[in-house]
Amino acid sequence: MKFQEYRIAEGIKTSIAKLGYKKPTDIQYKSIPPILKGEDVLAIAQTGTGKTAAFAIPILHLLQERNKTGRNEGVKCLVMAPTHELALQTESVFNTLGENTRVTSFCIHGGVEQEPQIEKLNKGVDIVIATPGRMFDLVSQGALNLKGVQILVLDEADHMLDRGFITDIRDLMKHIPKRRQTLFFSATISPKIKKLAYSLVNDAIRIQISPKDPVAKNIEHAIAFIEMDDKRFFLESLIKDNPEKKILVFVRTKVRAERVKKAMERVTIVTDTIHSDRLQEEREQTMKNFRSGELKVLIATDVSARGIDIPNVDFVVNYDMPETSDNYVHRVGRTGRGREKGQAVSFCSEEEKYLLTEIEENLGKSIQKIEISKGDYKTTLEITGEKVDDWQSLMKEADEFETSRRSGSGKGKKKKRK
């Protein structure tokens, strides 16, 4: 079935055609019809399958039709997202698909001044995409009224639970009508997620897109055995061998992200980082630069990059091995989006091999191994552009970084909600 055959507003069809999409993905094909009928939906699908459009397309149509009878003031749809980046990305999808409709969408999140957000809300919007912290702040101030919400969407629900937002989700129910349409989208399903989902939905249509291999077939992914202290040299080599490629590098912590950036600076490679210690405007500018291709190498933590749709990522590099198979799938899923092909490589040190074993057991298959001869390994270490042989200089740089990090974190404890 093609998008042109769906009973949706012509303006939405025009936007879909402009994007070059003709047929829906599996999750879109199975989700759009029941959402259009007003049914609750519980959908589980791997990353990169088009989940956002799966709920955005029918929601835009439903609100477009309801607006025909006269515009009612107030928010009609609330989309909850776990991170600033995902919320902004979801807003972009709604704005792009709804360009030729009368439906208005707006994103509210922390890390920026709230006054411009309040002004926008006062003018009236149909769809609010929000992170929990800022949403509750505005509700408590009376700046955001959710009493007219007709559709609630929980996006990346598994990640919301990982970040400890389960209490926030339950608190949200006090502020929205009991009679509503609820759409619950998640990449994974666990007993905890299932319990939460069924407490929110009513006679939901359950949709699960779970191929035997959770990693998309158009992603070529492999493991390279590299010792921890040598990883920076192999990352340097990969980047320099692919100067025009867009590369997303995953590390375990914020400190690691900054250290890897410093290591690349020493060999004249331009990179940038994205993690929760950076200011919101910095994160937005970094993402903008990476999406446009102005920035070729982005170093990220799982929290910041989870669920983010970045076009044309050629390589994903797991500089640090992910701690779970779900994180492995999410990480490598940042490349090979839609019908594009992608490549992913994981640097696995001796002390991380137990993580590889767990990941392969949970995936139910072995991951391809890259054989590196002793000669090639030695050559990679020898041809590095790093000329810093003075270990005292390196130790001083590390101490300076730790000092600045501690002084920065001392400015005020972060709240859980973001």
pLDDT digits (tens, 9 = 90+) for 319-362: 999 988 878 888 888 888 767 789 999 999 999 999 999 999 98
Q: Are 153 and 183 in contact (CB under 8 A)?
A: yes
183 closest CA partner among 146, 147, 138, 153: 153
Domains of the chain: 3-209 (3.40.50.300), 219-408 (3.40.50.300)
Residues 216-226 pLDDT 10s: 778 899 999 99
Distance CA 306, CA 159 (A): 8
Distance CA 415, CA 164 (A): 12
pTM summary value: 0.69
84-97 and 51-67 helices, crossing angle to 10°: 50
Tens of each residue's pLDDT in the chain, 418 residues:
889 899 999 999 999 999 888 899 999 999 999 999 999 999 988 766 788 999 999 999 999 998 765 555 689 999 999 888 889 989 999 999 999 999 999 999 988 889 999 999 999 999 999 998 899 899 989 999 999 999 999 988 877 877 778 888 888 888 999 999 999 998 777 787 788 888 888 889 999 886 666 777 788 999 999 999 999 999 999 999 999 999 999 999 999 999 999 999 999 999 999 988 888 889 889 989 998 999 999 999 887 666 667 878 999 999 999 988 878 888 888 888 767 789 999 999 999 999 999 999 988 889 999 999 999 999 999 988 776 444 445 555 555 555 555 554 444 444 444 4
Distance CA 321, CA 305 (A): 15
The DSSP result for 271-283, as a single string, is -EEE-TTS-HHHH
